[in-house]
Amino acid sequence: MKLLVLGGGDFVGRTAVEHALALQWDVTVLNRGTAPSDARVTRLRGDRRAADGLDSIREGSWDIVFDTWSWEPGVVERSAAALADRVGSYVYVSSRSVYDAPTEGASETWPTVQGPGEDYARCKLGGEQAAHAAFGDRALLVRAGLILGPYENIGRLPWWLNRIDRAGDVLAPGPAVLALQYIDVRDLVAWSLDAAARGLGGAYDVVSRPGHATMGELLQCCIAATESEARLCWVEPDVLSAAGVQPWTELPIWIPPGADHDSLHASDVSKASAAGLRTRPIQETVVDTWKWLQSLNGRTPIRGDRPPVGLPADREAAILAGR
C-alpha cells in the first residue's frame, strides 16, 4: 500500500508512519520538515496553512491519506480537494468532541454540535465535513476519544507517570473504581489503516469499551511501571470540587462521576468493535509510555496549541493536608 501522512512528526501521525513501515508500506509524509523522519520515508516539505503548502503533492497518487489536522477546516478542505482524484481513501482522525452533549450509550448516530464557532469540536466537525465533501464514502472519519500511549504530546499520561515517579503521597482522584474509556494510539492507528485498506468509510467511534480500565488500575500501573514507592491517597470528588480542582486539566484523564464523565467514558463502541477494533491492556500502554519517556532524558514534549496539564505540588500538598 502507498500511504501519504499529512504531518507525521508527532504522536498519532508519527505512530501511523511507524505502523505503516512495519507493514512494509510505501510511506510519504508532508510536513514543515521540523521533525526527524525515518530514512525509509519519502519526505515532502510544505506548510498546509501557506498558499503554496500543497505544491509538493500536486502530482502522485496514494492508496490512503492519513490526516490528523485539528483546527481550521479549510486546511482539510484544500488537502482533500487536491487529492480526491488521486487517493483511494481519506482517513481523517476526528474526535468524539463533535457530539452535542452525548450521554451514556451514545454512538455514531448522536447529534453533532451545531452553529458557528472556532472551538475544537466545531473545527473537527468541519474537518469531517470537508473530507466527506471531497471523498464521499471513501472518507473514513475516525472519532477518537482519549488517546494515550507512546509519543503523547498532550501530557496526560506522562504527567501521572512523572508525578508517581517522584513518589511520596500522591493525590489520587476518586473513586478508584471510576471507569475509563480511552484508546492506545497504536490500536487507533492499526484499526484506522486496516479499515481504510478494507475500504471502510463513514464515522466510527474508535475507543475502548467503557471500563476497559479504572482510575485505580491506571495509577497502580503507573506505580508498577516506574517501580515507585508512591502512596496513593484517594480523595473523593466532593473534596476536590470544594478545593477548586479542575478535572481533566489539573488532574489529567480524571472526570468525576456524572454527565461530563459519561460523555467521555461511557460511549457505545459496538460499531468499531464489529469492524475489528482490538484494544490492548492498560498495563502495556503505561509501561511502553514510561519506556519512551525515559528515553527523552527528562524532557516531556507538549503541543504548543494545548493548555498545560497537572496539579501544582503546593496545591496537591495543601489538599492532602486538609482532607
Q: How far is CA 30 from CA 44, 57, 142, in A?
A: 5, 8, 20
What pLDDT is stored for residue 33 in this prediction? 82
**Ramachandran class of 284: left when φ > 0, alpha when ψ lies in -120 to 50, beta otherwise:** alpha
pLDDT digits (tens, 9 = 90+) for 219-237: 999 999 999 999 999 999 9
H or E segment and range at residue 252: strand 251-252
pLDDT digits (tens, 9 = 90+) for 189-209: 999 999 999 999 999 999 999
- Give the C-alpha separation, 15 to 34, whole Å: 17
Beta bridge partners of 247: 251
Q: What is the pLDDT of residue 307?
A: 78
Length of the chain: 323
Over residues 257-288, the pLDDT tens digits come to 999 999 999 999 999 999 999 999 999 999 99
> Binning pLDDT at 50, 70 and 90, where does residue 256 land?
very high
- The DSSP secondary-structure symbol of 221 reads H
Percent of the chain exceeding pLDDT 90 equals: 91
What the chain holds in terms of domains, given with CATH numbers, is: 2-147+183-206 (3.40.50.720), 153-180+210-265+280-322 (no CATH)
Query: What pLDDT score was predicted for residue 306?
Result: 76
SS3 301: coil
pLDDT in tens, 62-72: 999 999 999 99
